[in-house]
């Protein structure tokens, strides 16, 4: 293996964190050994939501990274380790502990520091800034002995800090040097409305005041003195007078910096020395620094892509913001001040409701360029969408901000009108198409799921309504808008049908649809009901009354392949197989001319069997001691195992033995979707148990049980459910867990998706399965015992029934094999002939193709 190059990331704040995520997602970790340095004692957290720590949220609620997370990404993290110097010639950095690291690439993500104006007394005990968790802890500790607080600075952060003081029970003052609040985001009228709103909340505002001194009494702060000679008493002062990029490292090592600070970078975030990048608040792009998270995230992505050798460009940033300041909604978006030449303004000031809304329109009044909202920002994301997508605002743009019920024919911005390329979440740069696609493909039904899958709405939250609208619209399109009905034939969810079947003792689809549904059924409800009937009563699934319910796989007990032939997978429990069984498989496959391949589930799949060959193949398999592997069913598939303590020098338990016991216990169990399990003999986890619906990992003292993982399209790790439990407890918990899942999951919902949708999540499952909080454990165990006791090998039953075997005839009126099934040889085995390869048969008249007709348009 070649040595990986060294990539160092200085700063583990929001943007540094985003960089690490993106770098891992793009596979930079295979080219680089990535190491990140953070000055703060904790991994990255969501600074945007810092103030939530004063409204009951905890540190872990706002955490972004964790040691485990970075470990998973394959990134090393050094916390509480400030980088103090860098040498761009030697390509090294040195930390405060005197350690020196060489780099092949260096990313600076050092953020900003709060700007504290140089007034006498600014260092006194009782003076704080508002940027980190530590700052907040100190403010909280000091505030305990205080009555009055002053925030210096009436910008976005200052008002947030004032809110924090109020929530700590202090009387709060805000002192602003400019004559109005939020001078960067809001105009005069907006500022005035904001002022009256904020004052009505008990925060006193002092505008146009220049602080000249922090006064002290003893060694403590006691107030401020202003340039006009006035004084204001307080026992705590928070500076929030703006931020300054942390570019000191860069300055000292001779990197270029912007005129107003910040490490100068180009459109690819490259600083002026080779292999050095700067991203986030510390970077000055075209001389400008950005104090918002969205531009920082973009820079992180651009830097990652540049490092990966792709072309990427920062482009221009959207500096729109929406905040709730002390309970007052404020939004500022696009060209809020009407800077574009010829732009026109419409504004609406409502003195009663104390709201102010302003729209800036293009010269031709067709497009919205920007605007300001104070007091009611509910239309923020909608308006921002007009701006970002240059949508036509129609004849009456004023209607966009008219009070509800004004009757002025507001041009409703149906989410459906937006193009797929419309950016919905600017923080995370997610467009409508991506959100809609995730909803459709991953069958998401809740806002929380959409957020976690797409990241949209997870940063500032302002786009959440739009994301919700997309969800509603997609669900409606999929026909599941307000219902969780399984399909048009039953006004019930799968869970309700399960309940009906069990409680009303319903034995057949005909009975269920007659009593609780309508119509004939379809390919959605029929297999779902078949599965419910099978999980509940465990009948032979090919009883005549169930036959028409099954997908072809279940109907013919084999997996259909693209050419209409089937594959056969006998059970090889735990992957343990004797030489004689291997020989038998080989002999049978050879005799019937089948293609063989090892599956991902530690068994052997035999492909290319025509319908009429299946019974003969199975008769021979059964004679050789094999059983159905249920690879065709939504049922337990395999319980994979490593070789365990019997052979492996690391193993601490007999993983094969336990896997055998588990697989043999649950084989044949029908479930809402396929189920896979695994058992590893020690923590090295060779059986990949954490990627399965249920996984068991042996420990010195017993077993750890993991639940609800899966591989496939959207892999998810299983979660630790119980530690160091004994074998009997493993089985007991599995009985209960599996039956609980079978009872409550939706159709085709694997355990991971089921868990993600389950209110209360893993803790809830624990309470049900371990603590029996619903009082159903005895029932669940009895149901599982019934399934275990009534197990039959479906193939054995089938080959013993002459009546059933008629089903495997190729044609009801002929035993001639399907002439369309043709194989060619490749790598010593058969494969289905391509369509082109079969043309000759058609020409020779051996295969008759129907003449397909265009549908009549009438």
Ligand X SMILES: Cc1cc2nc3c(=O)[nH]c(=O)nc-3n(C[C@H](O)[C@H](O)[C@H](O)COP(=O)(O)OP(=O)(O)OC[C@H]3O[C@@H](n4cnc5c(N)ncnc54)[C@H](O)[C@@H]3O)c2cc1C
- Residue 281's binding partner, choosing from ligand X, ligand HEM, other proteins, none, with beta-carbon cut-off 5 to 8 A by kind? ligand X
849 lines the binding site for other proteins (CB under 8 A) = yes
Residues 523-542 touching other proteins, rule: CB under 8 A, are 523, 525-527
Relative orientation angle of helices 494-503 and 525-537, to the nearest 10 degrees:
40
Among 382, 496, 685, 779, binds ligand SF4 (CB under 6 A): 685
Is 453:474 a contact under the CB 8 Å cutoff? no
State the minimum distance, in angstroms, from the CB of residue 448 to ligand FES. Answer: 14
DSSP H/E element including 164? helix 156-167
Among 486, 682, 696, 742, binds ligand SF4 (CB under 6 A): 682
590 lines the binding site for ligand SF4 (CB under 6 A) = no
Q: What's the Rg (C-alpha) of the chain? A: 33
Q: How many CB atoms lie within 10 A of CB 49?
A: 15
Comparing CA positions, the residue from 773, 788, 774 lying closest to residue 734 is: 788
Comparing CA positions, the residue from 513, 440, 519 lying closest to residue 480 is: 440
| Nearer to ligand HEM among residue 151 and residue 678 (C-beta) | 678
Among 427, 686, 755, 768, binds ligand FES (CB under 6 A): 427
599 lines the binding site for ligand HEM (CB under 6 A) = yes
Q: Residue 87's beta-bridge partner residues?
A: 92
Rounded CA-CA distance 526/703 in Å is 39
State the minimum distance, in angstroms, from the CB of residue 786 to ligand HEM. Answer: 24
Residue nearest to ligand X (CB): 13
Binding residues with other proteins: total (CB under 8 A): 45
- For residue 143, the Cα-to-chain-centroid distance in whole angstroms is 38
- Residue 60's binding partner, choosing from ligand FES, other proteins, ligand X, none, with beta-carbon cut-off 5 to 8 A by kind? none
| Nearer to ligand SF4 among residue 650 and residue 811 (C-beta) | 650
| Nearer to ligand FES among residue 462 and residue 565 (C-beta) | 462
- Residue 851's binding partner, choosing from ligand X, other proteins, ligand HEM, none, with beta-carbon cut-off 5 to 8 A by kind? other proteins
State the minimum distance, in angstroms, from the CB of residue 655 to ligand SF4. Answer: 6
Outline where DSSP puts E strands in 280-343.
Answer: 283-285, 321-325, 328-334
Rounded CA-CA distance 700/693 in Å is 23
- Residue 284's binding partner, choosing from ligand X, ligand FES, ligand HEM, none, with beta-carbon cut-off 5 to 8 A by kind? none
| Nearer to ligand HEM among residue 294 and residue 697 (C-beta) | 697
Tell me the DSSP string of 656-713.
HHHHHHHHHHHTT-B-SS-EEEEEESSTT-TT-GGGSSEEEEE-SSSEEEEES-B-TT
State the minimum distance, in angstroms, from the CB of residue 108 to ligand X. Answer: 8
Q: How many CB atoms lie within 10 A of CB 320?
A: 24
φ, ψ for residue 232, nearest 5 deg:
-140, 125
843 lines the binding site for other proteins (CB under 8 A) = no
Q: Residue 270's beta-bridge partner residues?
A: 277
Site string for ligand X, 32-51 (x = CB under 6 A): -----xxxx------xx-xx
151 lines the binding site for ligand FES (CB under 6 A) = no
Give every CB contact of residue 605 below 8 A, 6+ residues apart in sequence.
559, 567, 568, 569, 596, 597, 598, 599, 631
Comparing CA positions, the residue from 171, 194, 201, 134 lying closest to residue 357 is: 194
Q: Token pair of 690, please?
A: 């954490």
- Residue 600's binding partner, choosing from other proteins, ligand HEM, ligand SF4, none, with beta-carbon cut-off 5 to 8 A by kind? ligand HEM
b/e string for 711-750 if b means 16 or more Cβ within 10 A?
eeeeebebbebbeebebeebbbbbbbbbbbbbbbbbbbbb
Rounded CA-CA distance 763/453 in Å is 21
| Nearer to ligand SF4 among residue 8 and residue 686 (C-beta) | 686
677 lines the binding site for ligand SF4 (CB under 6 A) = no
* Residues 226, 232, 234, 236, Cα dihedral to 10°: -20
Residues 649-668 touching ligand SF4, rule: CB under 6 A, are 650-651, 655
DSSP 188: H
> Strand, coil or helix: what is 738?
helix
| Nearer to ligand HEM among residue 431 and residue 605 (C-beta) | 605
| Nearer to ligand SF4 among residue 105 and residue 658 (C-beta) | 658
Residues 714-743 touching ligand HEM, rule: CB under 6 A, are none
Judged by CB under 6 A, the stretch of 214-222, 515-523, 648-656, 805-813 that binds ligand SF4 is 648-656
Binding residues with ligand X: total (CB under 6 A): 37
The alpha-helical segments, DSSP class H, found in 678-818 are: 727-744, 751-757, 761-769, 777-789, 794-799, 802-805
Rounded CA-CA distance 286/776 in Å is 65
φ, ψ for residue 437, nearest 5 deg:
-65, -40
Residues 447-506 touching ligand FES, rule: CB under 6 A, are 456-463
522 lines the binding site for other proteins (CB under 8 A) = yes
- Residue 459's binding partner, choosing from other proteins, ligand HEM, ligand FES, none, with beta-carbon cut-off 5 to 8 A by kind? ligand FES
User: What does the angle CA 530 – CA 532 – CA 535 come to, to the nearest 5 degrees?
Assistant: 110
280 lines the binding site for ligand HEM (CB under 6 A) = no
Comparing CA positions, the residue from 17, 412, 373 lying closest to residue 187 is: 373
Q: What are the angstrom distances between the C-alpha of 642 and each of 14, 107, 532?
A: 40, 42, 32
Comparing CA positions, the residue from 752, 747, 643 lying closest to residue 693 is: 752
| Nearer to ligand SF4 among residue 191 and residue 709 (C-beta) | 709
Rounded CA-CA distance 621/583 in Å is 11
| Nearer to other proteins among residue 490 and residue 740 (C-beta) | 490
642 lines the binding site for ligand SF4 (CB under 6 A) = yes
Q: How many CB atoms lie within 10 A of CB 62?
A: 18
Judged by CB under 6 A, the stretch of 161-169, 326-334, 601-609, 652-660 that binds ligand HEM is 601-609
562 lines the binding site for other proteins (CB under 8 A) = yes
State the minimum distance, in angstroms, from the CB of residue 847 to other proteins. Answer: 8
- Residue 855's binding partner, choosing from ligand FES, ligand SF4, other proteins, none, with beta-carbon cut-off 5 to 8 A by kind? other proteins
Residues 660-689 touching ligand HEM, rule: CB under 6 A, are 676
Residue 19 falls in which region: left (phi positive, over 0), alpha (psi -120 to 50) or beta: alpha
11 lines the binding site for ligand SF4 (CB under 6 A) = no
Judged by CB under 6 A, the stretch of 423-431, 443-451, 683-691, 750-758 that binds ligand SF4 is 683-691
- Residue 352's binding partner, choosing from ligand HEM, other proteins, ligand FES, none, with beta-carbon cut-off 5 to 8 A by kind? none
Site string for ligand HEM, 542-581 (x = CB under 6 A): -----------------x---------x------------
State the minimum distance, in angstroms, from the CB of residue 48 to ligand FES. Answer: 8
Q: Residue 829: exposed, middle, or buried by beta-carbon count in 10 A (0-12, 13-18, 19+)? A: middle
Residues that bind ligand FES (CB under 6 A): 425-428, 456-463
Q: Give the interface with other proteins as residue ranges (CB under 8 A).
A: 488-489, 510, 519-523, 525-527, 544, 547-553, 555-556, 560, 562-564, 806, 810-814, 816, 818-820, 835, 845, 848-855
- Which residues of the chain form contacts with ligand SF4 (CB under 6 A)? 642-644, 648, 650-651, 655, 680-682, 684-686
Q: Which residues bind ligand HEM (CB under 6 A)?
A: 559, 569, 599-601, 603, 605, 629, 631, 637-638, 640, 676, 710-713
* Residues at the contact surface with ligand X, assessed by CB under 6 A: 10-16, 37-40, 47-48, 50-51, 82-83, 109-112, 130-131, 157, 160, 246, 249, 280-281, 291-294, 296, 321, 323, 460
């Amino acid at each position: 293996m070649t040595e990986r190059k060294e990539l160092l990331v200085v700063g583990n704040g929001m943007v540094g964190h985003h960089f690490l995520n993106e770098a891992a997602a793009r596979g930079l970790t295979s080219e680089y050994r990535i190491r990140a340095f953070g000055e703060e004692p904790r991994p990255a957290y969501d600074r945007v939501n810092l103030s939530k720590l004063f409204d009951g949220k905890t540190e872990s609620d706002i955490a972004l990274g964790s040691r485990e997370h970075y470990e998973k990404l394959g990134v090393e993290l050094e916390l509480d380790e400030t980088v103090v110097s860098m040498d761009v010639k030697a390509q090294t950095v040195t930390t405060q502990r005197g350690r020196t690291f060489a780099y092949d690439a260096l990313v600076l993500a050092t953020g900003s520091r709060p700007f504290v104006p140089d007034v006498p007394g600014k260092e006194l005990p009782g003076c704080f800034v508002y940027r980190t968790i530590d700052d907040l802890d100190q403010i909280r500790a000091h505030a305990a002995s205080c009555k009055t607080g002053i925030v210096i600075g009436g910008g976005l952060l200052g008002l947030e800090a004032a809110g924090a003081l109020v929530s700590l029970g202090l009387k709060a003052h805000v002192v602003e040097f400019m004559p109005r609040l939020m001078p960067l985001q809001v105009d005069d009228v907006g500022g005035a409305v904001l002022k009256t709103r904020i004052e009505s909340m008990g925060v006193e505002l002092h505008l146009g005041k220049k602080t000249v001194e922090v006064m002290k009494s003893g060694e403590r702060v006691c107030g401020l003195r202003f340039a006009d000679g006035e004084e204001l008493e307080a026992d705590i002062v928070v500076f929030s007078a703006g931020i300054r990029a942390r570019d000191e490292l860069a300055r000292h090592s001779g990197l270029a910096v912007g005129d107003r600070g910040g490490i100068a970078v180009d459109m690819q975030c490259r600083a002026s020395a080779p292999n050095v990048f700067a991203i986030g608040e510390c970077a000055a792009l075209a001389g400008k620094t950005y104090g918002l998270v969205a531009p920082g995230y973009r820079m992180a992505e651009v830097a990652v892509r540049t490092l990966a050798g792709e072309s990427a460009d920062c482009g221009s940033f959207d500096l729109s913001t929406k905040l709730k300041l002390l309970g007052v909604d404020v939004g500022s978006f696009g060209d809020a001040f009407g800077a574009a030449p010829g732009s026109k303004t419409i504004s609406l000031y409502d003195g009663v409701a104390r709201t102010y809304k302003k729209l800036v329109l293009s010269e031709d009044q067709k497009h919205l360029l920007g605007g300001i909202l104070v007091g009611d920002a509910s239309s923020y994301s909608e308006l921002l969408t007009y701006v970002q997508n240059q949508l036509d605002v129609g004849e009456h743009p004023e209607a966009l901000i008219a009070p509800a019920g004004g009757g002025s024919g507001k041009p409703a911005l149906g989410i459906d009108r937006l193009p797929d390329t419309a950016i919905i979440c600017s923080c995370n740069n997610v467009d409508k198409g991506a959100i809609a696609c995730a909803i459709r493909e991953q069958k998401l039904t809740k806002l929380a799921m959409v957020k976690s899958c797409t990241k949209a709405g997870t940063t500032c939250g302002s786009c959440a309504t739009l994301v919700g609208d997309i969800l509603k619209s997609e669900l409606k399109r999929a026909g599941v808008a307000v219902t969780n009905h399984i399909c048009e034939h039953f006004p019930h969810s799968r869970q309700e049908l399960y309940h009906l079947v069990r409680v009303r003792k319903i034995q057949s689809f005909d009975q269920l649809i007659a009593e609780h549904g309508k119509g004939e059924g379809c390919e959605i409800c029929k297999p779902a009901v078949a599965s419910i009937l099978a999980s509940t009563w465990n009948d032979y699934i090919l009883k005549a009354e169930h036959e028409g319910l099954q997908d072809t796989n279940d109907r013919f007990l084999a997996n259909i392949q693209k050419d209409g032939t089937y594959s056969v997978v006998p059970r090889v429990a735990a992957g343990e197989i004797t030489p004689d069984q291997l020989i038998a498989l080989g002999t049978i496959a050879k005799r019937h001319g089948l293609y063989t391949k090892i599956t991902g589930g530690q068994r052997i799949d035999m492909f290319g069997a025509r319908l009429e060959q299946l019974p003969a193949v199975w008769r021979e398999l059964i004679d050789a001691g094999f059983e159905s592997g249920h690879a065709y069913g939504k049922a337990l598939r395999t319980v994979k195992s490593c070789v365990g303590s019997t052979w492996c020098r690391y193993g601490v338990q007999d993983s094969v033995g336990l896997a055998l016991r588990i697989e043999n216990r649950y084989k044949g169990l029908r479930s809402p979707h396929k189920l896979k399990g695994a058992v590893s003999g020690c923590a090295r986890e060779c059986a990949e148990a954490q990627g399965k619906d249920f996984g068991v990992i042996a420990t010195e003292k017993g077993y750890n049980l993991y639940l609800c993982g899966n591989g496939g399209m959207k892999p998810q790790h299983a979660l630790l459910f119980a530690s160091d439990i004994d074998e009997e407890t493993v089985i007991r918990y599995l009985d209960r867990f599996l039956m609980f899942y079978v009872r409550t999951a939706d159709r085709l919902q694997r355990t991971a998706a089921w868990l993600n949708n389950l209110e209360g999540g893993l803790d809830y499952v624990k309470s049900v399965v371990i603590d029996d909080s619903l009082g159903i454990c005895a029932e669940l165990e009895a149901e599982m015992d019934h399934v275990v006791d009534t197990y039959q090998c479906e193939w054995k039953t089938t080959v013993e029934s002459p009546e059933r075997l008629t089903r495997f005839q190729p044609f009801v009126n002929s035993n001639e094999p399907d002439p369309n099934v043709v194989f060619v040889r490749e790598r010593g085995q058969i494969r289905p002939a391509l369509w082109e390869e079969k043309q000759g048969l058609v020409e020779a008249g051996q295969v008759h193709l129907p003449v397909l007709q265009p549908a009549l348009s009438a």
